[in-house]
Chains A and B, each alone.
Chain A
Amino acid sequence: MKTEVLLRSIGRISDELIADAESEANTKRKPGWAKLGTMAACLALVLCTGIATHAIRSNATAGTFTMDVNPSVEYTIAKSGTVKMSAA
């Protein structure tokens, strides 16, 4: 009985409080497709970051070797095995 009085009384709270609760929940609701969209965007970001990192790293210097010839030539080799730079 006491809880019923409480439940009935909550039915008499201010109109403003009720309207506020109704408007807020509507704006915060995220439909299923929106959640999927957010997940897809995150996945795409992770993939792009990975690819970009790999591309940068593959062009990093793996080492240099110098040949004492006349004139001498120095090759700079990238991690991917390609010659990045040569200097006489």
Chain B
Amino acid sequence: MRDREIIELYWVRNESAITATAEKYGSYCHTIAYNILRNKEDAEECANDTYLRAWSSIPPQRPNRLSIYLGKITRNLALNRYKRYTAEKRGHGQVVLALSELEACVPSETTVEQTVEENELAAAIDRFLYVKPKLNRNIFVRRYYHLYAIRDIADAYGMSESKVTSLLFRMRNELRRFLEKEGIML
């Protein structure tokens, strides 16, 4: 089924939109979540939560690229879950659990200020990436957006791991200098 047709199902509140999304983008969402969580069950739950988020956000949203829209939701959900697990391991269990439970009470997990800050930073990163060679840009995105392992990236591009590592090292330094030049403080 075409993306436009799936989005239309969401807009007319037809629940088969979720089934169609799972069929077409289930493995895509699963891969993104799995790269972050490294656990099949958790990745599956993140993918399922993604469909529910899509259901509650379309409408009013009408994504231009459904795959990327879903991928971004999955990535956020997986990062939230990862953060919760890491904090629990550090022994802050109950506070983090309580915060996590209370998240359900607020409309959004991020504040308006956070969203603005992240949007400004994302726009700066866009400007930084667009002037870089395509190969460097794509490797940066696959590492820090998709969170693929260095080895996987090296395999995908037919490069050695050390070459990918040094390319990313240079990119990170260049990004730091770029953000300083733009006056963006983290």
Instruction: Name A's B-contacting residues (CB within 8 A).
Output: 2, 4-15, 17-22, 24-25, 28-30
Contact = CB atoms under 8 A, between A and B. Distances in A.
A4 to B, nearest CB: 8
A11 B75 contact: yes
Contacts of A28: 156-158
Interface residues of chain B: helix, strand, loop or mixed (majority):
helix
Given A13-B125, A29-B155, A21 B142 contact: yes
Interface residues of B, number: 37
B129 interface: yes
Contact of A12 (B69, B119, B146): B119
Contacts of B122: 9-13
Interface stretch (B8-16, B54-62, B133-141): B133-141
Interface string B10-49: 0000000000000000000000000000000000000000
Interface residues of A, dominant DSSP: helix
Contacts of A14: 126
Contacts of B145: 10-11, 13, 17-18, 21
Given A17-B129, A17-B137, A12 B118 contact: yes
